[in-house]
Amino acid sequence: MSSIGLQRPFGDLRRKIKGGELGPIPVVVGLIIIAAVFQSANGQFLSAQNLSNLAVQIASTGVMAIGVVLVLLLGEIDLSVGSVSGLTAAAMVILNVQLGWPAAIAIAAAVAFGAVIGLVHGLIFAKAGVPAFILTLAGLIGWQGLQLFILGNHGTINIPYQGGIASLANTFYPPAVGYALGAVVVATHLLSTIKQRQRRREAGLRTQPLLQLLVRAALLLVLLVGVTAVLGKWRGVPLSLLIFGGLVVITDLVLRRTRFGRRIFAVGGNIEAARRAGINVARVRISVFVLCSAFAAVGGLLAASRLFAVNQQSGSGDVLLNAIAAAVIGGTSLFGGRGSTYSALLGMLVIGAVSNGMDLLNQVSSVKFMITGAVLLAAVVIDSLSRRNRNASGRA
């Protein structure tokens, strides 16, 4: 019996790979290769100081990528996340620095502002039928213009270095906090999977072996303990990383364990079938665009906190492209209906590691852009090939 329990996970893995369900395997392999190459070229790449800097650097764009993942699950795209992040960050700083609002209220107002922007996008998309690409492209231009307007002649507004908004990206906790949170995450994950396994068994559905669930939980615990130990050797566990990781975990639980999450996958997988099943497609679409812009606002706040300022360039440059690239590189399908918010985490690790490693090697931006583009192209090719394999196996 135990032999069957040990063999079955590997059989399931082989079957998924053969059917095109590669999951995070290509990304994890890519990360290992990237780490090995840069560590051999520069011994500081895997140092505690550099990894801590990398964790802080990827948090802001990574949070934006979570919202992009949600939109991609619908089979749509949002090109306005960069502009929304810059605009909401500018609004937050004006409220806090110039108007004297408390930091917490200014942050909440900025996130609410982002959600309202997403509501506007969602209503126009779902009710008026404007294609998401054109709609959010107009948003990219329009919201950036509004950002320039409210900043006015100031151009740049600095944030005080102590407390308030600056604490979001510049607060570090001792390793004990990381270990405690890691234990909570692993316990929650294990209890959730065991409960789901019990429900599937009661429904007469196929379940995963308990040993497999325990092994996964143990590996997750080892990973979290290792990351915390490494970060603890420098300044500690960054608050911005906890915010990013917490949003990834919470959003994934919503997608996998709630009716709303299942409806997102249903709409992205087959909109007509979802509509016939009684799902309010318009409501799901509007909700996703609201969440996407809200996540963009949170990302903008983290970016402003890390740089201690908001200026006319906030949210511009390669922010949008990196957010979309992270979602796709991490494994979220461009065709909708397949993906995970962990794609944002994995994809940002790839993009951040490449950028960080190139900086350590004193490479120019042109080389970083070309390598990031090549990685993105490879991810899209893998997605297209795996989708073709799934369709072929389905017909068979």
Please tell me the predicted confidence (pLDDT) of residue 5: 47
Give tens-digit pLDDT for 278-337.
Answer: 999 999 999 999 999 999 999 999 999 999 999 999 988 889 989 998 998 888 888 888
Task: Look up the pTM and report it.
Answer: 0.89
Please tell me the predicted confidence (pLDDT) of residue 6: 46
| Cα 319 to Cα 79: distance, rounded to the nearest angstrom | 11
pLDDT mean across residues, the chain: 87
Please tell me the predicted confidence (pLDDT) of residue 390: 57
* Cβ-contact 120, 135 below 8 angstroms: no
| Cα 57 to Cα 50: distance, rounded to the nearest angstrom | 10
Please tell me the predicted confidence (pLDDT) of residue 148: 93
Q: Which domains does the chain have, with CATH numbers?
A: 44-172+259-384 (1.10.3470), 175-235 (no CATH)
pLDDT tens per residue, the chain (396 residues)? Answer: 444 444 554 455 555 555 555 667 778 888 888 899 899 988 899 999 999 999 999 999 999 999 999 999 999 999 999 999 999 999 999 999 999 999 999 999 999 999 999 999 999 999 999 999 999 999 999 999 999 999 987 788 999 888 789 999 999 999 999 999 999 989 988 888 888 888 888 888 888 888 888 888 898 899 899 999 999 999 999 999 999 999 999 999 899 889 999 999 999 989 999 999 999 999 999 999 999 999 999 999 999 999 999 999 998 888 998 999 899 888 888 888 888 898 899 899 999 998 898 888 888 778 878 887 887 787 777 767 766 665 555 555
| Cα 296 to Cα 330: distance, rounded to the nearest angstrom | 18
Residue 241 token pair: 């990383």
Burial class (CB in 10 A: 0-12, 13-18, 19+), 204: exposed
